Structure 1
Amino acid sequence: MHTPLRWAFRLTLIATLIVAAVAFFYLMQAAKYDLDEVAQLPARTTFLDRDGVQVEVSWGSARHLARRADLPDFLVSCLEAREDARFFEHSGVDFRGLARATLRNIKDRDFTQGASTLTMQLARNTYEMRAKSIHRKLLEIALTLRIEHRYSKDEILTHYLNRIYFGSGCHGIEEAARTYFGKTVSELHEGECSMLIGIIRGPHIFSPIRNIDGARDQQSEVLDRLIAMERIDQAEKERIQALPIKLVPEEQRTNERSYAIRAVRDELSKILEAADIRADGLIVHTTLDSGWQLRLETELSKVLLGLEKGRGWEHPTHARHDPGTTPAYVQCSAVTLDSDTGEVLAMIGGRDFLDSRFDRSTGARRDLGTLFEPWIAAAAAERGKRVIPGNPLMTGRQIGPTETARIAKRCGLGGPFLDTEDLFRGSAASTPMETAVGLATLANGGKRPNPHFVTRITDAAGETLFTRKPEVSQAITKHAADQAKALFRTIGGSRCYNGSTGSDRDAWMLRIGPSGSTVVWIGFDNPAPITSDAKLESVLVDLENRLGK
């Protein structure tokens, strides 16, 4: 044999042995994984308060698994078109697509292309394999081949659809169908099928609840892929897009029983999407202080019941209203933030979550009235002017309404603010959450914290998947914050400030205490006088004393 041919043969043999050794190694590694997990119901998400106490049993307690017989054929076609056109042809790994992706990655010098089949995605989601590396990819391929050997194609696509995330807290196709459309997956029409499959690549961004236009765009892309595969034509696409999409009203789709837990879940959904976390059995460490939350709810309820006594008003104990309507009794909202970090220790969005799911802590923008005085003082002190206690008009005139509003916004208040001297008489508005941020800024020496509900997320094995570091920015000087706090009264170990609007339609309480920065708002949803100014002050002082015990 000629020398060049001999060397070519030897190199080929060596390369073959190396490939065989690598394949054997990864098949042995893949053999360590339990394939039964592929077909198991994904573990539920658990929420803990800041002390590690479970605050809710789970997320997805009513989760249902779909069977292959439940999946409409059109939905399966959409899944093929969107995610894996050769799913029923390849052996789990689309080597042609993988080769194209490899060449592209070499060209880009990065892992920009994945060429993942449905089975590869199922392996990745089941065993939470997210790291982008050659080792991870080779292990994923080996696991994929094992899964294809163990399960049929129909079983694989069913397990895939039962496991993946569809946004808005929905894990699995059945839960998504019920949450978004109020139907079982077997009842979905073609428009709903194509929309659900369309949002898989961006379940948070394209959730129909959050972004119906984006969801329709994704639906259109799925239908275009079906046209390219000659499964439908343009006329069919237009017919499908014309089918009505009726989303379940918010008050009917939520399973939460408190405003705070719903807010935690909303924030969690955003984190999972941004960090691409799809693991099962998540442990979510929240900022909530269960003890303080209960105390705040209890004491606030007591003073409001006292306010209503003998006045003939209906309240949640006596009346139930249709979800989504505006109850006629006195409402409230309260937020407590850790002044240093912005962690939300407690949040109350209304008197009764089951009676009204409207969250007033972030959705009710109400007049501040006399409560605005501390921020007028802070603005004046920030610009080196004198603070005149009890005279916000004279204090504010030294810098004018425009500058006062600008500094108040820096502290966290949202406005709107009148650009006249009426601003100094209390013509400013804010939500309770924004006001709590503004109060925490004063309490924290002028440093404005970013409010949040989730501090850490771990998987079932205890591995940390997400950690949030407090975000704080200097909004005003410490001197300005101290001048504003000087207006507060000292009650026990806390500093308090009460305010109301001239029409007695809104009553507010600010409290800087051991539990953090607390803001309380009291009023009707449809603004109307509550009671006399003296009575409102008495109610707020009563609440201060109760919380100060």
Structure 2
Amino acid sequence: MSTWRPVSRPPRWLAWLPGWALTLLKLSLWIGGGLAVLGLCVALFYFARAGRFDLDEVAAMPARTTILDRDDHPIEVSWGASRHLAKREDLPDFLVQCLEAREDARFFDHCGVDFRGLARATIRNIKDRDFTQGASTLTMQLARNTFDIRAKSIHRKLLEIALTLRIEGRYSKDEILTHYLNRIYFGSGCHGIDEAARTYFGKPVSKLHKGECAMLVGIIRGPHIFSPARNLEGARDQQSEVLDRMIAMGRITPQEKEAIQAMPIDIVPEDQRSAERSYAVQAVRHELGDILEASDIRLDGLVVHTTLATGWQLKLETDLSNTLLEAEQGAGWDHPVHREFTPGETPAYLQCAAVTLESRTGAVLALVGGRDFLDSRYDRTTGARRDLGSAFTPWVAAAAAERGKRVLPGNIMLTGRQIGPREAARISQRCGLGGPFLETEDLFRGSAACTPMEAAVALATLSNDGKRPTPYLISRITNAAGETLFQRKPDLSQAITTAAANEALELFDEVGMSRCFEGQTGSERDAWLLRVGPGGSTSIWLGFDEPTKICEDGRLRKVLDSLGQRLGE
């Protein structure tokens, strides 16, 4: 049986090529065909994966944030209560033009993926050996924000592209940019363009002028650090960059930019921006904003697990209120509980502030920033820096013990002189007190200032064997599916020795279930109660916002005694 076969000859139009070139051409065709098949399989795989996502979520109202106390009981908040979805007709045309100029210049021309930009970014990433460039379009950002596609990997990027193409096939360009603006974060707890317009400027998005439009678009890339409520100068810089992009695209002239920048920007005062109901919830909101920015968390439907102990928070508020009412009645004062205060006016009645920290972790168990949140939203736990007076005594003792000197109860002046005011101030700062501190012996008479929060930290340091905690209000953040997006770990540092901390605590009197130290300034303008309970360290300040003599020393001591007894029950 013959095995002879005729020799295969190339087509005439390839006959002129040498044999090695023909071989290389065939190999290239085989490789190209294989890559095409592989590319098709990859595309089909990612389009199949993208098909599992519900595109109705793109247009849905972002779910509100849920706040829980340390026992996972809901805390009532007002966040998002006024949130609603803007429609395309609500968006000023200038706002849309600014968004296009700043974020996606070819938005109305590409298919959702800017392949030219993507190619440039890919080459740059290969050179940098890292994902330094993303080339994300508005549609890609919408896909990422809606479906939590944030990890920087090739797999995530391919899935994002497939989802982007699906979104482009489902929604019009106007719908896409509207959904994008309704979903993104604008800082200060604002999710969506309309909530941002109302929060910052006190008006709906449809009423924004050109200067406000450019400013809101400018802060998108850094909503926390460029929030006009906390960094108006930075927000103006971003506004200028947006307008420069508008000039580069031929949308406005330099003269028009000057006119737009001259438009008045009136930011809504902080005490009118939200409808919170307590200082503690207000503080949680501020901390949440910091975490969302630092951790790049933008999902809706967040569940925020706080450290607040609702029962103790209520007891602290109630005991403070009752004690101060009794003091005012005894002094013949009237607390104007029903009076309405104009914005920015300081209520002129006896104020208070209190913080309780879990000593071993720094978790905030309770926070009272003032007497009446409806009258004044000014948080005195971090804003009121007042003299400690005789309440500075435990830290003078701790400083002396830290340096191996004798602690002389009842004679704090001699105790402090053994180390000098500068060393006493330095060790007190290590414990958490912020100062300022006098550099004379008047320091030992209490000429040292701090906030109630700092006093609580320094007290927790004494009651935690000299370990200084960093205070925090949020322990964990999860999404609606229960997945952990943020987890806080206690941050402790050894400030002083255990022996020095324990010797300072010996100055505290036993009151009920707690150990308390009372102190007031010589001018009787500030009074402090320091309490170490079974699991928490509490600092309480009493006084007027405008420093004024509270009452006679004997009466003031009775007020502090009564408060200490109440808290120890």
TM over 0.5: yes
> Which of the numbers 283, 292, 300 marks the counterpart of 2:312?
292
Q: Is it true that 1:271 corresponds to 2:291 in the alignment?
A: yes
Alpha-carbon distance in structure 1 between the residues aligned to 2:445 and 2:137: 64
Shift, 1:34, TM fit: 0.2
Q: Is it true that 1:50 corresponds to 2:96 in the alignment?
A: no
Q: Secondary structure at the match of 1:389?
A: coil
Counterpart in the other structure of 1:383: 403
Counterpart in the other structure of 2:34: 14
Counterpart in the other structure of 2:147: 127
Q: Secondary structure at the match of 1:309?
A: helix
Shift, 1:37, TM fit: 0.2
> Which of the numbers 417, 439, 455 marks the counterpart of 2:475?
455
Counterpart in the other structure of 2:59: 39
Alpha-carbon distance in structure 1 between the residues aligned to 2:332 and 2:506: 40
> Which of the numbers 480, 491, 514 marks the counterpart of 2:534?
514
TM-score (norm 2): 0.95
Q: Is it true that 1:479 corresponds to 2:499 in the alignment?
A: yes
Counterpart in the other structure of 1:525: 545
Alpha-carbon distance in structure 2 between the residues aligned to 1:301 and 1:399: 40
- Per-residue displacement from partner, 1:470-501 (whole Å, max 9, x unpaired)? 00001111111111101000122211100011
Alignment of 1:95-244 (within 5 A): 95-244=115-264
Q: Is it true that 1:351 corresponds to 2:368 in the alignment?
A: no
- Structure 1 or 2, whichever has the larger Rg, is 2
Shift, 1:314, TM fit: 3.2
Counterpart in the other structure of 1:29: 49
Shift, 1:311, TM fit: 3.5
Alpha-carbon distance in structure 1 between the residues aligned to 2:526 and 2:24: 92
Alpha-carbon distance in structure 1 between the residues aligned to 2:397 and 2:31: 82
Q: 1:32 to 1:316 in 2, by over 3 A?
A: farther
Counterpart in the other structure of 1:311: 331
- Per-residue displacement from partner, 1:176-198 (whole Å, max 9, x unpaired)? 00000011111111110000000
Counterpart in the other structure of 2:278: 258
Q: Secondary structure at the match of 1:510?
A: strand
Alignment of 1:429-468 (within 5 A): 429-468=449-488
Shift, 1:86, TM fit: 0.1
Q: 1:53 to 1:177 in 2, by over 3 A?
A: same
Shift, 1:515, TM fit: 4.4
Alpha-carbon distance in structure 2 between the residues aligned to 1:6 and 1:430: 80
Shift, 1:57, TM fit: 4.5
Q: Is the 8 A contact 1:324 1:358 kept in 2?
A: no
Shift, 1:324, TM fit: 2.4
Alpha-carbon distance in structure 2 between the residues aligned to 1:160 and 1:318: 44
Q: Is the 8 A contact 1:45 1:58 kept in 2?
A: no
Task: Look up the equivalent residue of 1:265 and give its one-letter code.
Answer: R
Q: Is the 8 A contact 1:191 1:240 kept in 2?
A: yes
Alpha-carbon distance in structure 2 between the residues aligned to 1:134 and 1:464: 23
Shift, 1:547, TM fit: 1.1
- Per-residue displacement from partner, 1:349-386 (whole Å, max 9, x unpaired)? 10111101111111001111110000000010111100
Alpha-carbon distance in structure 1 between the residues aligned to 2:72 and 2:479: 15
Shift, 1:318, TM fit: 4.1
Number of residue pairs matched?
Answer: 549
Counterpart in the other structure of 2:340: 320
Shift, 1:316, TM fit: 4.5
Q: Is the 8 A contact 1:46 1:59 kept in 2?
A: no
Shift, 1:220, TM fit: 0.8
- Per-residue displacement from partner, 1:231-277 (whole Å, max 9, x unpaired)? 11111111111111110111111221111111111011000000100
> Which of the numbers 513, 523, 527 marks the counterpart of 1:503?
523
Structure 2: 5+ residue runs without aligned partners? 1-9, 11-21
Alpha-carbon distance in structure 1 between the residues aligned to 2:77 and 2:24: 70
Shift, 1:148, TM fit: 0.3
Q: Is it true that 1:490 corresponds to 2:510 in the alignment?
A: yes
Alpha-carbon distance in structure 2 between the residues aligned to 1:390 and 1:356: 39
Q: Is the 8 A contact 1:324 1:357 kept in 2?
A: no
Q: Secondary structure at the match of 2:529?
A: strand
Shift, 1:7, TM fit: 2.0
Alignment of 1:359-378 (within 5 A): 359-378=379-398
Shift, 1:58, TM fit: 5.7
Q: Is the 8 A contact 2:77 2:276 kept in 1?
A: no
TM-score (norm 1): 0.99
Task: Look up the equivalent residue of 1:251 and give its one-letter code.
Answer: D
Alpha-carbon distance in structure 1 between the residues aligned to 2:40 and 2:165: 15
Q: Secondary structure at the match of 1:59?
A: coil
Alpha-carbon distance in structure 2 between the residues aligned to 1:448 and 1:8: 67
- Per-residue displacement from partner, 1:294-313 (whole Å, max 9, x unpaired)? 00000111110000015343
Alpha-carbon distance in structure 2 between the residues aligned to 1:308 and 1:321: 20
Alpha-carbon distance in structure 2 between the residues aligned to 1:261 and 1:515: 22
Moved over 3 A (4+): none
- Per-residue displacement from partner, 1:320-373 (whole Å, max 9, x unpaired)? 322421111100001000001000000001011110111111100111111000
Q: Is it true that 1:301 corresponds to 2:321 in the alignment?
A: yes
* Further displaced range: 390-399 or 5-14: 5-14
**Could you tell me the percent identity over the aligned residues?**
71
Q: Is the 8 A contact 1:441 1:481 kept in 2?
A: yes
Task: Look up the equivalent residue of 1:401 and give its one-letter code.
Answer: P
Alpha-carbon distance in structure 1 between the residues aligned to 2:235 and 2:311: 40
Q: Is it true that 1:94 corresponds to 2:114 in the alignment?
A: yes
- Per-residue displacement from partner, 1:31-87 (whole Å, max 9, x unpaired)? 000000000000111110000001124631221211000101100000001100000
Q: Is the 8 A contact 2:309 2:366 kept in 1?
A: yes
Alpha-carbon distance in structure 1 between the residues aligned to 2:402 and 2:23: 86
